[in-house]
Structure 1
Amino acid sequence: MCRHLAYVGPEEPLGRLLVEPPHSLFRQSWAPRRQRYGTVNADGFGVGWYAPGDPVPARYRRAGPIWADLSFADLARVVRAGTVLAAVRDATLAGADAEAAAAPFAAGRWLFSHNGAVAGWPDSAAHLVSALPPVDLLSLQARNDSAFVWALVLHRLRSGDTPAQALGEPVRLLARAAPASRLNLLLTDGETIAATAWGDSLWYRTEPGRGTVVASEPYDDDPLWQEVPDRTVLTASRTGVLLAPLEDPAASPTPGSARAGSPSAKEPCH
């Protein structure tokens, strides 16, 4: 379910990233090529971007399908940005949250998206509410699983975790509570991208001078696209990508294994 994309690099019109490629995120809303769960991503969409000199991103979100929004077509044609996070949504469950349930979620300089589902939601995650302060629970932006995942991530960011740690620890926590969950997460602060591959597809393309794209699936057939292995956390900048393994809580720990996000666990990719 869902498709999402993050880009960091030279300024580009939103449409060049999200609409014009032959298998763009726009087209993935009705004809994804690699989506294994769900078929049509028409339950909402959103795009967040950063204007020069302003660390707080702007967002445009709607509850309906991206192809039906003529205002988005105009916006995508003229707005330019060097960092973008966008998503099209296939709802896990029916709900009344509408636009509030559509990614990207935001707080301060951060944008966040979740592609996947927490298995058995909400029962499977009920005992995890103790991981959040009461004010965070009362401040949930929607009542779906993605909003709860975002609350877990944001709490760790505010506690001082790096982006890779802030994504990796909630993924392990949720995977332990609901092992069949799919937890592909995207996070950006306007300068870098962090992401996890856990149960669904994730790809990246990086090229000096052209920036870095991280996406659920390639939007064209450029041979520079590379698939991220499952159970991986990715960090990316304008110049390259780092990959690190994410420990599966279902697997037995091995002595001396590197912790995801630590320097010894990282593998550079260009």
Structure 2
Amino acid sequence: MAYSGTPVLLEDLLFKPQNSLVIQSKHSRLGATTVNGDGFGVGWYAEGARPGVYRSTEPAWNDSNLRELSAMARSRRVFAHIRASTGTAVQQSNCHPFRQGDWLWMHNGAIADFSVIKRDLALAVDPALYADIAGSTDSEMLFFLALTLGLHDDPTGAVARAVGLVEEVAGRHGIADPVQMTVATTDGETTWAFRYATAGSARSLFHSTDVATLRAQYPDNPQLHDLSDDARLIVSEPLGDLQGAWREVPESSYVVVRGASEELGSFVPTAP
């Protein structure tokens, strides 16, 4: 889940919605697994440019510190993730979101046969960045490949180049359909989200519709009146059943959220 807009309490995003992320950690409707209990993480921007991060290997529904923190912390931009491991260890350094400087990154999906191509991918990471890789996941490796390939200056292009590199390396090892992903990343001012799978059947991804339109549709819904017109959410599955509140991000597409503006485009990996 990626939120931007009016500063809100984290609990308003993580606990209060009908189908909140904490509910999804036990009862995901659209995820590859129903239960996502291998840890969680939340990243948020407060006063400075560098975001705060709280990650735990506890299931999100069972972490009392998350409830305490989310009742006190307020932010204009929030990233949150619940984890179901695809094979790497259940440890804090493997929980999303990952942080590097002002940037946050999180990923749903997997790189097929990651252990087979992990060394080749690691050697493609900028040596100046490599020491900052703290965990062992394919998700963090993909983040550092994107950083190496220009995430700061050209996020959409950098992710396309990173995915293209993974597909090229996987092809050399005879691995079919290597990439399955929805990815969200932010520099604290803009959010980019991507939906792509080599085989063409990616994990689900949705973005919220215009808040002003929803207010007009649902004038008696108090939650909508507390949000600014530029409030936006990008989620793996809708947080509620409000009709017209969510649009699915198409396959092989990306969405960029800057303030109240949204840009939707086609995502095509770039061969290295």
TM range (shorter): 0.7 to 0.9
Equivalent residue, structure 2, for 1:152: 145
Assess if the C-alpha contact under 8 Å between 1:211 and 1:237 holds in 2.
Answer: no
Assess if the C-alpha contact under 8 Å between 1:109 and 1:189 holds in 2.
Answer: yes
- Corresponding letter in the other structure for 1:191: E
Equivalent residue, structure 1, for 2:203: 200
Secondary structure class of the residue paired with 1:122: helix
Which whole-Å CA distance do the structure 2 matches of 1:242 and 1:100 have between them? 32
Is 1:212 aligned to residue 232 of structure 2?
A: yes
Equivalent in 34, 58, 63 of residue 57 of structure 2: 63
Equivalent in 174, 184, 196 of residue 166 of structure 2: 174
Equivalent residue, structure 1, for 2:41: 46
Which whole-Å CA distance do the structure 2 matches of 1:120 and 1:249 have between them? 21
Deviation string for 1:54-103 (max 9, x for gaps)?
1110111101201111111011112110000010000111426x001001
Is 1:232 aligned to residue 253 of structure 2?
A: yes
Structure 2, unaligned stretches of length 5 or more? 197-201, 212-228
Secondary structure class of the residue paired with 1:193: strand
Secondary structure class of the residue paired with 1:9: strand
For the aligned residue pairs, the C-alpha RMSD in angstroms reads 1.9
Which whole-Å CA distance do the structure 2 matches of 1:191 and 1:212 have between them? 13
- Report how far residue 210 of structure 1 moved: 5.0
Equivalent in 189, 192, 210 of residue 191 of structure 1: 189
Change (3 A) 1:152 1:75: same
Deviation string for 1:33-69 (max 9, x for gaps)?
111x2221111101010113x1110111101201111
Is 1:142 aligned to residue 135 of structure 2?
A: yes
Change (3 A) 1:248 1:156: closer
Is 1:13 aligned to residue 16 of structure 2?
A: no
Change (3 A) 1:191 1:135: closer
Structure 1, unaligned stretches of length 5 or more? 251-270
Please show how residues 14-33 of structure 1 align to structure 2 within 5 Å.
14-33=10-29
Is 1:128 aligned to residue 148 of structure 2?
A: no
TM-score by length of 1: 0.84
- Report how far residue 168 of structure 1 moved: 2.3
Is 1:78 aligned to residue 98 of structure 2?
A: no
**How many aligned residue pairs are there?**
242
Equivalent residue, structure 1, for 2:92: 99
- Corresponding letter in the other structure for 1:161: D
Deviation string for 1:127-173 (max 9, x for gaps)?
33332123433331201111111111222346x53222222221232
Which consecutive segments of 4 or more residues in structure 1 shift more than 6 A? none
User: Structure 1 stretch 201-210 or stretch 59-68: which is displaced more?
Assistant: 201-210
Equivalent residue, structure 2, for 1:245: 266
Change (3 A) 1:248 1:164: closer
Assess if the C-alpha contact under 8 Å between 2:124 and 2:145 holds in 1.
Answer: yes
Which whole-Å CA distance do the structure 2 matches of 1:146 and 1:221 have between them? 30
Secondary structure class of the residue paired with 2:70: helix
Which whole-Å CA distance do the structure 1 matches of 2:230 and 2:144 have between them? 32
Change (3 A) 1:100 1:79: same
Change (3 A) 1:157 1:84: farther
- Corresponding letter in the other structure for 1:57: P
Equivalent residue, structure 1, for 2:217: none
- Report how far residue 125 of structure 1 moved: 4.2
